[in-house]
Structure 1
Amino acid sequence: MDERRSSIFSTNIPCRNEQLYGRCPYIDKGCFFQHKNQDNAPASSKPPSATAIDPQNSGFSTKLSINSPSFTPLKLSKTSISSASNKESVPLTRPKSYSSALSSGKNGAAAQQAANSPKTVSLMTSSSKAANALQTHKSSLARAASAVPFSPSKATTVSLKESASLTSLSNNKSVSNLNSISGASSPSGSLVNLHSLTRSASFVPQPSVPNSGQLSNADMSRHILARFPPFFHNLNEQQQKTTSFFLADDHLKWFTYLTQEFYQFANIPKLPSHVLSYHSLIPRRMIVTVLPVLRYATSIYKVIDGNNGLPYSFVQLRDFTLLNDRNITNVSPWTKVDSPHVIKIREAFTTHAFEQKSIVFVYNYLPSCPSLYDLFFASPVFRKRTSSFYFSQPLKATKEVLWCFASQLISALYSIHSSGLAAKMVSLKNVLMVGKMRLAIFGLGIMDVIQEESTEPLTSLQRNDCRDVGLILLALATDTENVTLSTAKAHLTRLKTIVSTDASLVELIEVLIFNEELRIQTLLPTMLSYMVNNYESVLLMEDVYETYLAEQVENDRLLRLLLKLEFLDDRPEYVDDPDWSASGVYFVIRLFRKYMFQVQTIDDASKKPTLQSTTTPPRKLLNKAHLLSCLNKLDAGTDEQILLEDEFTRIIMSFKEVKTTINTAFMELERRCSNNLSVKK
């Protein structure tokens, strides 16, 4: 007999054909159930009395019924009987649960005869002891048998795939729990006994949690405030210094300043209301200092593009006449330069909107960022004011600062030269600090339009760019504003005499200024270690910004919940709505809102905080932590029970039920608004 025909079908179970019809037509054809006239049965149909009953593998795949039709048992296989009897974990005694299960109903006589039969005792392993404990529960299943045709050929074991579906129907109990009980004596590693599967959770202690079947799928972390690294108290001094290298000392002040700059608007009558699709022109502080002398009066504005609503920067050259229309097309290659150290140009055009001939260059928006000239060579008062957003103290040109500036400027030149262009304008006044220790070159592309087409080769122009970067570094290192090519040697000689000067930095400046065969690509290997340091500092700064971003994500989801509640609160169309009355389904929303905004008072006797209604006057303490906790648990939809009450009503509900009610009410409100309905229909 194969594994499907379990050894449970032994002579200890009365034959139901004999009980229903008085005789079994298959008694001479191999029916191995117990018959009253057992002596008349052939010897081949009598299995040994010591045939083992495996309680672990026992079970019925269908339910018993007195109205079931007759069945046709298959012939007994000697191989399966011998294999079942050889199992060490199977007891040789007959379990009492089967006799007690069959003693109820109309099987009493046969069951009593089976109960009085001799018992044998055998050694039982730990797995068989656990299996024997299951038999006390089998009698209840036998009593619950309903009118389903019974057939001994039905399978008594199911695969793991089928057991998963059965587990979900049985209060979502874990399969791992039943494997610890029944897995040791299962017929095979991939099969699980059906009855032990559906009832094993009854013998395993389960936590008394409401709706435990759905609790395992709930995202319980959503009511905990998300935190991301780095935690500064876990960093040593060197790590904190590296992390804050590119991070503004007062970042909140810096973010506030950026927001104010973005939303700053003014109505200036002398300026045009719009220029092409750009409008809302606001003059910027960077009128003189941001660009070197271009032989034209220069003005810089912040504008808004009417096509996309984004801000941009206008650079206007007044009283400009374009001698060659083809020169304005020289801006097109610059629109393809992508570098974090180059402020990208968008377009250029001529206009008479300012009541005079002008040319306008449109750049990506940047706030009023200070230039290197403002940070190092302006008046002390102006230097302190311009650097206050980034630094708590005035910036000094130390070795680390100079190497950081050098690596960024060389990276910018590499992006420009790789595009087949030359900057033609790199100076202290158009190199801006757009973030703490982060530089970007502004105004590139202007010289390509306003200058006559030069016959000088591109390599010579690119060599001049390298020389300009060297002069900037030399001016910062020597704290000298006006450093030219003619005075560079004298300043280098003085720089070498300073003890604290880095020899490799002096060598870099000397190569940038005086090496006539220099190409920017040859400098990259020497700058690799400093670029790696900048890269690591930027990654650490990114961790900090991700922490701030995570906090804003938390604030965003809580704000959405508050907005939902405010949309639903005290709407005039809800006055006569029965669903929002004291007996309505949505009245719980009003109770929950009152529960959230309760005030906390301190009891003088017990010194313990208690929640009281907002109408209670004494010693109020606004408990914001209670409000945030309620919002987080509401967003997560936890199963925690809370008491919602007012003067006449008391309701116990979970946060999950309140969340479902709020979502339903809000979707109904959206439907009514989309259909332009003032009242519910």
Structure 2
Amino acid sequence: MSPSTAGVGCAFNHDPQKVNAAHSCIDSSSSGGVGIKQKRLNVESPSFTPSTTPNNGAAPTSAATVKKPATLSPKAAGAAPFLPKGAISRANSGTSQLRQETGTPEWGLTEVPDFVPQRFDTVDSLQGTGNGVLGASNAFDPFVSSTTPLASAGAVVTHQMQQNPYAHDHTGIGGTSYFTSQNSFQQPVQYHLYAPIGPHNQSILGYQRNVHDLFIPNDFREELQKKAAATLQTLPNSQLPAQIDIFHSLVPLDVTHQKNATIFGYPSWVYKAQSSKDGNFYALRRLEGFRLTNEKAIRCVQSWKRVCSGSVVAVHDAFTNRSFQDSSLIFVTDYHPLSKTLAEQHLDGPNRYQSRHASTHLPEPVLWGYVTQIASALKSIHSAGLAARIIDPSKILLTGKNRIRLNACAILDVVQHDTQRSIADLQSNDMVNFGQLLLTLGASSIAHNPTKALEHFSRAYSAQLYNSVLWLLGAGPSKDPQQPPPDRSIDVFITGISSQLISTFDSSLHLDDQLTYDLSRELENARLIRLLTKINFITERPEYDHDRHWSENGERYFLKLFRDYVFHQVDAQNSPVVDLGHVLTCLNKLDAGSEEKVTLISRDEQSCFVVSYKELKKGVEMSFQALMKRR
């Protein structure tokens, strides 16, 4: 054996060139031409000793360099006993002596806590297994345990089991596993409870409340229903065209059938129509006998589409049409059902009441409300570089209580397109028409006489409102020709009535609160009607009368008894009990899956069941899903 091949690589490397009998793995058929007899193992065989690995992994230069194995020193019997680091760290005395005796460096005795398995011996002792294996049902749950799996050294393995906040079932120790699919119907939010939202204007006691407190007011409901009926109203046997562009089902909205060309220069008519494009309803204003001579005139309507104000009736389109057997110009605007004009609301009346109108006038808060809304509309219009041009009581819609909107504003821009007037002049004329409107509303009977109307206005209203009308009409106290004309823009006017704007804004906030309160009273109705629909889909289906697996067994039977409990109760005299509060209470508890129990008795009074609302809700869901699968 050459020295170059002796002891190469690992000390346990089975090199085929080695001939050491104690470490050889080759047989007599190995290559190399050297016949070596393999000895059998017996009690006299020398012990196996691996060859020593040289420093840096280099092989020794010769076989003679291999050192003999070192023998155990007799002094080892007096060596210090082996102690784990945790035990040394817990010792309060003799630490330095142990370091000296064992030769352990300073960094080897750091206080590292021992690994102590949690819920191991203790849980096993509780279970009586003693096999050192945790049961599958008691596996560590990070959402249940109050401590971490690696506890500090010396900690006592006793855990206060907390309920899993993410689990629906809190009955057992530790709750259910977080990753286990839960089939619970209990709602985490108590949304089934009615919580009235303010404002609360009436100071009434609990027993003074009635059923109407759970729903929107009757007058508000009637108003909405009337508006819906007016929107869906049709005109049978109508002589109007069946189709105008994309609009159909025309219904006239004019209260009089007399032609009037005072405002626009052409007789105008208003219709309600439905769009076949989006299904919405719109108001169509038709100008009879108008001939379009300039295409640019009708294009100006595009500018009015960009005007976005709550006090202006939105303009959608304008086009010409011959469906009325003439050349008509038609404007498409928003439709506000059951709306009136200010002229119909405050100025029109039988002749026998004209003397009474002379002594009455609009309340000042109402008139201030009109002022602020018209000022808001003019602000949006003038900011868009346009002018209203029409501020007339017959063209201002009253769409709600003291809620007005400017209407028919874009018509004169098309009809009088060829009239060369600057925007500044038109906007200044808007301010004059604004003041004339206020004077007409405040002194309706004598509005034709400006002098008497102003005198009446000064006596009936405050100085601020009177001076505002004077400022709008340009009849201010300063008439000095040397002074430049004052800036009579809408911005200056709004600055002067800022206090009234705040008052109107506060009133609109109160109205918003009231509408939110009325809406909250109807919040639960859709949820309860869905629950009622499910129950009636399930119970006593006629096609399953002979299928006892459906109607008379299982949860369907409980649901049938629950329906009788809710709707078919009788009193001591066997008279039917009609109690809406009982119905709402039971349905809310069912929808929430309450843990409260209810007693259900069969119609023949031979069976009695005590079930919880949670179980009933589960039965509703399971039965409805089974019904859907039978379709």
Do Structure 1 and Structure 2 share a fold, with TM-score over 0.5? yes
Kindly indicate whether the alpha-carbon contact (under 8 Å) linking 2:267 and 2:288 is maintained by their aligned counterparts in 1. Answer: yes
Aligned AA (2:610): I
Matched with 1:25 is: none
Write out per-residue CA displacement over residues 257-306 of structure 1, whole angstroms, 9 at most, x where no aligned residue.
Answer: 22221232222330122222212211214457999632323221111112
Tell which deviates more after alignment, 663-672 or 296-305.
Answer: 663-672
Q: For the structure 1 residues 381 and 228, does the alpha-carbon distance in structure 2 shift closer, same or farther, using more than 3 Å as the test?
A: farther
Return the match for 1:165 from 139, 143, 147. Answer: 143
Paired with 1:250 and 1:419, the residues of 2 have a C-alpha distance of: 39
Q: For residue 465 of structure 1, what is the aligned residue in structure 2?
A: 430
Once the 2 structures are TM-superposed, how far is the Cα of residue 537 of structure 1 from its aligned partner? Answer: 1.2
Matched, 1:323 2:293: yes
Of 321, 329, 333, the match for 1:363: 333
Counterparts in 2 of 1:418 and 1:382: CA distance versus 1, 3 Å? farther
CA distance in 2, matches of 1:249, 1:561: 25
Contact 2:144 2:163 in 1 (8 A): no
Q: Answer yes or no: is the 8 Å Cα contact 2:555–2:623 preserved in 1.
A: no
Tell me if structure 1 keeps the 8 A contact 2:300–2:413: yes
Q: Return the offset for 1:380.
A: 5.7
Shift of 1:601: 0.4
Tell me which residue corresponds to 1:29: none
Q: Post-superposition shift, 1:550?
A: 1.4
1:525-544 paired onto structure 2 within 5 Å: 525-544=495-514
Shift in Å at residue 476 of structure 1? 2.0
Are residues 1:351 and 2:309 paired?
A: no
Alignment of 1:184-333 (within 5 A): 195-198=158-161, 218-219=187-188, 221-233=190-202, 250-286=219-255, 293-333=263-303
Shift in Å at residue 81 of structure 1? 5.8
2:90 paired residue number: 80
Matched-pair identity in %: 25
> How far, CA to CA, are the matches of 1:366 and 1:414 in structure 2?
22
CA positional deviation for 1:437: 1.2
1:653 corresponds to 2:611: yes
Task: Give the deviation of 1:577 after TM superposition.
Answer: 3.9
Partners of 1:74 and 1:291 lie apart in 2 by 110
Aligned partner of 1:406 in structure 2 is 371
* Aligned Cα root-mean-square deviation (Å): 4.2
Q: CA deviation at 1:82?
A: 5.3
Q: Deviations over 1:79-113 (max 9, x none)?
A: 43659xxxxxxxxxxxxxxxxxxxxxxxxxxxxxx
The 1:598/1:82 distance shift into structure 2, 3 A limit, reads: farther
2:462 corresponds to 1:502 = yes
Amino acid at match of 2:618: T
Local SS of the residue matching 1:567: helix
Superposed counterparts of 1:34-49, under 5 Å: none
Q: Separation in 2 of the partners of 1:194 and 1:365?
A: 76
Q: 1:670 to 1:373 in 2, by over 3 A?
A: same
Q: Is the 8 A contact 2:289 2:327 kept in 1?
A: yes
Q: Which moved more, 1:191-200 or 1:259-268?
A: 191-200
Report the TM-score when normalising by structure 2: 0.67
Secondary structure of 2:279's aligned partner: coil
> What are the within-5 Å matches in structure 2 for residues 632-671 of structure 1?
632-646=588-602, 647=604, 649-671=607-629
Match of 2:57 in 1: none
Q: SS at the partner of 1:337?
A: coil
Inter-CA distance 221–374: structure 2 relative to 1 (3 Å threshold): same
- 8 A contact 1:371–1:428 mirrored in 2: yes
Tell me which amino acid in the other structure corresponds to 1:424: R
CA–CA separation in structure 2 for the residues paired with 1:652 and 1:287:
68
Evaluate the alpha carbon distance shift between residue 567 and residue 199 of structure 1 in structure 2; reply closer, same or farther with a 3 A threshold: closer
Counterpart contact for 1:334–1:345, Cα < 8 Å: yes
| Residue 374 of structure 1: aligned partner | 344
Matches within 5 A, 1:457-606: 457-480=422-445, 482-483=447-448, 487-488=449-450, 491-496=453-458, 498=459, 500-514=460-474, 517-602=487-572
Change (3 A) 1:458 1:200: closer
Amino acid at match of 2:246: S
SS at structure 2 position matched to 1:492: helix
Which secondary structure state, in structure 2, belongs to the residue aligned with residue 600 of structure 1? coil
Match for 2:519: what amino acid?
A: L
Quote the Cα distance in structure 2 between the aligned partners of 1:631 and 1:381.
58
C-alpha spacing 1:504/1:555, structure 2 compared with 1 (3 Å): same
**Larger mean Cα displacement after TM superposition, 140-149 or 533-542:** 140-149
The aligned runs of 1:78-227 (5 Å cut-off) are 78-80=88-90, 142-146=125-129, 148-149=131-132, 164-167=142-145, 195-198=158-161, 218-219=187-188, 221-227=190-196
Distance in 1 separating the partners of 2:162 and 2:383:
73
Residue 254 of structure 1: how far off its partner (Å): 2.4
Q: Give the total of aligned pairs.
A: 484
> Which residue in the other structure is 1:631 paired with?
587
Report the CA distance between 1:333 and its aligned residue.
Answer: 0.8
Is the CA contact 1:318–1:358 (under 8 Å) kept in the aligned structure 2? Answer: yes
Q: TM-score, normalised by structure 1?
A: 0.63
SS of the residue 1:397 aligns to: coil
Residue type of the alignment partner of 1:514? G
Secondary structure of 2:336's counterpart equals coil
8 Å contact 1:600–1:623 — kept in the other structure? Answer: no
In structure 1, the residue matched to 2:48 is none
- Partners of 1:291 and 1:628 lie apart in 2 by 58
**Relative to structure 1, is the Cα distance of residues 248 and 650 closer, same or farther in structure 2, using a 3 angstrom cutoff?**
closer
* Aligned mate of 2:310, from 312, 321, 340: 340
**Structure 2: runs of 5+ lacking an equivalent:** 1-77, 94-120, 165-169, 177-181, 205-215, 476-484
SS, match of residue 195 in structure 2? coil
Question: Are the aligned partners of 1:592 and 1:644 in contact in 2 as well (CA < 8 Å)?
Answer: yes
Judging changes above 3 Å, is the alpha-carbon distance between structure 1 residues 567 and 309 closer, same or farther for their aligned structure 2 residues? farther
1: CA distance, partners of 2:404 / 2:225: 21
Q: CA separation in 1, counterparts of 2:291 and 2:319?
A: 12
* Maintained 8 Å contact 1:223/1:629: no
Contact 2:591–2:617 under 8 Å retained in 1: yes
The CA deviation string for residues 62-92 of structure 1, in whole angstroms up to 9 with x for no partner, is xxxxxxxxxxx94552543659xxxxxxxxx
CA 1:146–1:358 in structure 2 vs 1: closer, same or farther (change >3 Å)?
A: same
The structure-2 alpha-carbon separation of the partners of 1:578 and 1:503, relative to structure 1 and needing over 3 Å to count, comes to same
The structure with the larger Rg is 2
**What are the ranges of 5 or more consecutive residues in structure 1 without an aligned counterpart?**
1-41, 47-72, 84-137, 152-157, 168-174, 180-185, 202-206, 236-246, 385-393, 604-617, 674-681
Question: What CA distance in whole angstroms lies between the structure 1 residues aligned with 2:595 and 2:218?
Answer: 43
TM-aligned CA deviation for residue 142 of structure 1: 1.9
